């Protein structure tokens, strides 16, 4: 494509983005709301962890749930970045591929939960890990395409509010959903209650896909030539050496990965310590959703006004609060504080963990930055819960929570002291 053709396409693209902005804000808000509501019926740190506990007492195997949840979204992104960068239409990836890689697995999980746990618990556990990995890594496979689509059709000054409103609606209604999930788990014996929860999750996640498919994305070709995968990967260390601000950001994300290594054991710890029922433990999801909804409501506009670095600092601080609350908990009621803080930390990270990376680079380099920012920490997201499981097995849950809090403080320090807000750095 010649320079004049590219400039003409750029002008047409900008006009189309402005023309369809209200539509794209609406359908992507629906996507986020449906997804946030539905996925809480299969929340990894509560519902999935409880389901796994019925199938095994092994802390390392339960830790694999947290490993998959922490790494699945992030690990594949670097390897899809150059492919996404060269596509003029990004939404085809999360829509066409994501239907099978991310949405379908939840229906399969619901079916296995209906049929297998009582007859073949080991097979049910193995399939849980395989299907959950299919869902999580399938989400990571299409993540750069989804992020790039959002970056293309939603201007920077609207992104924080879009994600805040969409996820606030989803989590606010998800509080009702958590109560429904707890009632389902109370009314129906294992494994029927869990199967019903997984089926509800699958239906609403499919509705979110339908809303996403309605996005109106104008085409825009990249001016950067195609790069072979090997050459693309060899150039990545140069990005970190050249952009020290971004390199410190990645370092902070790595430290925070270990700061979250105890999260997957919070529900199991509470159930074992205070002998809770599935329904009681399921109410922790409601506490988590309350924290999420309050954070989404308040922090989206803050991110748009003050920048995403501040919101990520809040997220890192809340992660430390989660571990501290679990360490200090004198009763099971105290764990509601930990889960509310966890919800707020997750919301803060979702709001700004993606959006801040979009501001570190130009549009042509953005997929590379997105891949680096997610895949490199993603390796440590995969490792960290295994460390947490090993520490919990050898020294107990309190030791795992203390180690996580220490790493979280390190990540917060790097982020606050060494990373400049990208908007200020560019200015």
Q: Judge contact between 10 and 220, C-beta under 8 A.
A: yes
Burial class (CB in 10 A: 0-12, 13-18, 19+), 363: middle
What is the dihedral sign for C-alpha 82, 88, 94, 100?
Answer: negative
d(CA 302, CA 426): 19
CA angle 417, 420, 422 (to 5 degrees): 155
**Residue in this structure with the two tokens 């997957």, named with its chain if needed:** 264
260 three-state secondary structure: coil
CATH 3.90.550.10 fits 3-426, yes or no: no
Q: 194 φ, ψ to 5°? A: -65, -40
Cα 24 to chain centroid, rounded: 21
Tokens of 417: 């002291």
Provide the 8-state DSSP code for 116: S
265 vs 380: CA distance, rounded Å: 17
For the beta carbon of residue 256, count every other beta carbon within 10 angstroms. Answer: 29
| Distance from C-alpha of 127 to C-alpha of 111, rounded to nearest angstrom | 11
| Cβ-proximal residues to 395 (8 Å cutoff; 6+ apart), any chain | none
Q: Contact at 8 Å (CB) between 171 and 346?
A: no
Quick one: which of 179, 184, 218 has its CA closest to 198? 184
Q: Which two tokens stand for residue 385?
A: 């819960």
Characterise 246 by phi-psi region: left (phi > 0), alpha (psi -120 to 50), beta (else). alpha
Buried b (16+ CB within 10 A) or exposed e, 335-358: bbbbbbbbbbbbbbbbbbbbbbbb
Q: DSSP alpha helices (H): ranges in 72-191? A: 77-85, 92, 98, 104-115, 121-153, 156-187
Given this model, what pLDDT does residue 401 score? 96
State if pTM tops 0.85: no
As a whole number of angstroms, the distance between CA 340 and CA 297 comes to 14
pLDDT tens for the chain, 427 residues: list them. 555 666 777 788 888 888 998 999 899 888 988 887 888 899 887 889 889 989 988 877 877 887 888 788 878 877 887 788 778 899 999 999 999 999 999 999 999 999 999 999 999 999 999 999 999 999 999 988 998 898 888 887 787 777 777 777 776 777 777 778 888 988 999 999 999 999 999 999 999 999 999 999 998 877 667 667 677 777 778 888 999 999 999 999 999 999 999 988 898 899 889 988 887 777 887 888 888 888 887 887 788 888 899 999 999 999 999 999 999 999 988 899 999 999 999 889 888 887 898 788 777 777 778 778 878 888 898 888 888 888 988 999 999 999 999 999 999 999 999 999 987 755 4
Contacts of 107-111 with CB under 8 Å at 24 or more apart are 107/199, 107/202, 108/134, 109/42, 109/135, 109/198, 109/202, 110/195, 110/196, 110/198, 110/199, 110/201, 110/202, 111/195
385 Cβ contact list (under 8 Å, min separation 6): 63, 64, 66, 67, 70, 261, 263, 264
Q: How many helices (H) and strands (E) does the chain have?
A: 20, 0
**What is the DSSP secondary-structure string of 185-249?**
HHHS-TTHHHHHHHHHHHHHHHHHHHHHTT--------SSPP--HHHHHHHHHHHHHH-HHHHHH
Residue pair 232/31 in contact (Cβ under 8 Å)? The answer is no
Torsion of CA 273, 276, 280, 283, to 10 degrees: 30
The pLDDT, as a whole number, for residue 2 is 56
Helix, strand and coil content of the chain, in percent to the nearest 5, comes to 85, 0, 15
Place of tokens 């229906």: 107
Q: Is the dihedral of CA 221, 226, 230, 231 positive or negative?
A: negative
Residue 321's pLDDT is what?
95
Domain spans in the chain, listed from the N-terminal domain onward: 3-426
């Amino acid at each position: 494509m010649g320079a004049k053709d590219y400039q003409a396409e750029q002008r047409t693209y900008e006009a189309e983005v402005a023309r369809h902005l209200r539509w794209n804000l609406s359908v992507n808000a629906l996507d986020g709301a449906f997804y946030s509501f539905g996925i809480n019926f299969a929340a990894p740190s509560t519902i999935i962890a409880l389901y796994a506990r019925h199938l095994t007492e092994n802390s390392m195997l339960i830790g694999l749930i947290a490993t998959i949840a922490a790494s699945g979204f992030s690990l594949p992104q670097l390897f899809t970045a150059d492919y996404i960068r060269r596509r003029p239409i990004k939404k085809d990836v999360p829509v066409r591929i994501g239907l099978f890689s991310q949405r379908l697995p939840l229906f399969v999980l619901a079916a296995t939960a209906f049929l297998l746990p009582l007859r073949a618990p080991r097979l049910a556990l193995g399939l849980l890990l395989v299907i959950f990995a299919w869902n999580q890594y399938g989400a990571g496979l299409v993540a750069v395409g989804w992020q790039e689509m959002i970056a293309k059709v939603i201007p920077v000054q609207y992104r924080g509010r879009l994600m805040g409103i969409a996820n606030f609606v989803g989590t606010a209604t998800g509080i009702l959903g958590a109560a429904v999930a707890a009632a389902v788990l109370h009314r129906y014996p294992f494994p029927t209650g869990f199967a019903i929860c997984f089926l509800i999750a699958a239906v609403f996640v499919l509705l979110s896909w339908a809303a996403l498919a309605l996005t109106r994305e104008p085409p825009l070709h990249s001016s950067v030539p195609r790069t072979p995968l090997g050459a693309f990967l060899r150039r990545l260390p140069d990005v970190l050496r050249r952009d020290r601000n971004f390199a410190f950001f990645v370092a902070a994300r790595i430290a925070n990965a270990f700061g979250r290594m105890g999260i997957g054991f919070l529900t199991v710890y509470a159930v074992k310590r205070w002998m809770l029922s599935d329904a009681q433990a399921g109410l922790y999801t409601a506490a988590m959703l309350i924290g999420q909804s309050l954070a989404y409501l308040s922090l989206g506009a803050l991110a748009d006004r003050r920048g995403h670095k501040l919101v990520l600092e809040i997220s890192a601080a809340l992660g430390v609060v989660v571990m501290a609350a679990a360490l200090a908990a004198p009763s099971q009621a105290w764990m509601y504080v930990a889960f509310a803080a966890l919800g707020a930390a997750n919301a803060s990270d979702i709001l700004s963990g993606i959006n801040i990376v979009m501001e570190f680079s130009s549009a042509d380099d953005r997929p590379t930055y997105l891949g680096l920012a997610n895949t490199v920490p993603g390796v440590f997201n995969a490792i960290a819960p295994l460390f947490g499981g090993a520490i919990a097995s050898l020294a107990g849950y309190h030791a795992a929570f203390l180690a996580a809090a220490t790493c979280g403080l390190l990540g917060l320090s790097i982020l606050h002291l060494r990373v400049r807000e990208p908007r200020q750095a560019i200015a």
